[in-house]
């Protein structure tokens, strides 16, 4: 049986690492080509079921993208490449928009012209929903999108491009709105690993006053374990419906204040926290909780890790 070929963009990120682990742990024979604008730090040589290679590529370089597609001929494309930080999108809106629209358009246009038959997973974000009323929760995929950050606008644009290529060219693209996912290997520019590193340092310190520096901790998010996320991605490759948008979420909300208390409890410390005004975004979604009924119905996926289990794993990684 011929191994399926997966092209993974944004390969140097933490989601890619967990996707590889999912393939390996489930003994799924696969050939993987990872591409990223950054160097690869992952160990890709010691898999039993995966043959994995890496190339450093800027997706804006059309000639290199064309060469990769024509040579590798993927069966599946997992498009993870992006500037995925909302905070950074406020600081660098042009770069954020370019990296979430132009690189994607360049990729799928190359795939279209190649006439290679493959399934593409276009990864979007729950940030696309924007500020919502509590009466609209949990959010379903047909809810009106009202993005409130440059990052969110870029993700909506990527989704709209996907729809155009599905409707006009018949391309096999599935779109996700992936809610905040957490887990090991995530960069500490993101909120959960940032909290984890600070809390671990506080536990190790001899200081009596254990105070955490934060942004707005009243906001509520639907955090989903990255191990559940990559399982969802694989199942969508296998069972998802072409041209369909899927929420990937646990379906439960937790405030950042609660997250801090859960983590402090795991570490057996008591902490206070104060808000650093420079960490508060100009406009932020106050509450995001999603419905995962569609992906459950179409693929049988269900989240398996609780928020407590996920946070314990992250703390263990940074300890």
Domain ranges of the chain: 4-183+224-252+286-304
Q: What is the pLDDT of residue 319?
A: 85
CA separation for the pair 136, 140 (Å, rounded): 9
The pLDDT tens digits of the residues spanning 295-318 come to 999 999 999 999 999 999 999 998
Mean pLDDT of the chain: 92
Q: What is the pLDDT of residue 1?
A: 59
Q: What is the pTM of this model?
A: 0.94
- Dihedral sign, Cα of residue 29, residue 2, residue 296, residue 122: positive
The pLDDT tens digits of the residues spanning 17-30 come to 999 999 999 999 99
Q: What is the pLDDT of residue 136?
A: 94
Q: What is the pLDDT of residue 255?
A: 95
The pLDDT tens digits of the residues spanning 224-263 come to 999 999 999 999 999 999 999 999 999 999 999 999 999 9
Q: What is the pLDDT of residue 283?
A: 60
> Which position has the higher pLDDT, 87 or 282?
87
Q: What is the pLDDT of residue 176?
A: 98
The 8-class DSSP code of residue 167 comes to H
Q: How far is CA 158 from the centre of its chain?
A: 14
pLDDT level of residue 273 (50, 70, 90 thresholds): confident
The pLDDT tens digits of the residues spanning 134-191 come to 899 999 999 999 999 999 999 999 999 999 999 999 999 999 999 999 999 998 888 8
Phi-psi category of residue 243: left, alpha or beta, with phi > 0 → left and psi -120 to 50 → alpha? left
- Answer yes or no: is pLDDT of 264 > 70: yes
| Architecture in CATH of 4-183+224-252+286-304 | 3-Layer(aba) Sandwich (3.40)
Q: Which residues pair with 120 in a beta bridge?
A: 77, 173
Question: What are the two backbone dihedrals, phi and then psi, of residue 305, each rounded to the nearest 5 degrees?
Answer: -100, 130
């Amino acid at each position: 049986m011929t191994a399926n070929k997966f092209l993974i963009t944004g390969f140097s990120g933490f989601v890619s690492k967990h996707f590889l682990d999912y393939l390996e742990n489930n003994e799924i024979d696969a050939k993987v080509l990872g591409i990223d604008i950054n160097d690869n730090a992952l160990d890709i040589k010691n898999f039993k079921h995966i043959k994995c290679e890496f190339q450093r590529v800027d997706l804006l370089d059309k000639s290199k993208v064309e060469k990769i597609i024509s040579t590798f001929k993927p069966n599946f494309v997992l498009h993870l490449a992006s500037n995925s930080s909302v905070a950074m999108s406020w600081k660098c809106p042009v770069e954020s928009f370019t990296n979430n629209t132009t690189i994607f358009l360049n990729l799928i246009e190359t795939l279209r012209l190649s006439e290679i038959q493959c399934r593409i997973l276009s990864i979007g974000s729950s940030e696309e929903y924007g500020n919502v009323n509590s009466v609209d929760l949990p959010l379903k995929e047909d809810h009106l999108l009202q993005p409130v950050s440059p990052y969110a606008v870029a993700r909506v644009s990527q989704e709209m491009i996907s729809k155009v290529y599905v409707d006009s060219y018949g391309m096999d693209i599935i779109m996700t709105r992936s809610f905040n996912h957490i887990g090991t290997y995530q960069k500490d520019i993101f909120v959960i690993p940032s909290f984890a590193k600070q809390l671990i340092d506080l536990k190790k310190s001899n200081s009596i006053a254990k105070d955490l520096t934060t942004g707005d901790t009243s906001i509520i998010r639907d955090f989903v374990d990255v191990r559940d996320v990559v399982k969802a991605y694989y199942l969508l490759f296998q069972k998802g419906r072409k041209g369909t948008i899927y929420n990937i979420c646990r379906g439960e909300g937790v405030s950042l204040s609660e997250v801090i208390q859960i983590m402090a409890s795991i570490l057996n410390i008591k902490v206070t926290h104060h808000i650093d005004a420079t960490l508060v975004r100009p406009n932020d979604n106050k509450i995001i909780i999603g419905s995962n009924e569609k992906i459950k119905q179409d693929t049988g996926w269900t989240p398996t890790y609780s928020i407590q289990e996920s946070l314990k794993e992250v703390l263990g990684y940074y300890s």
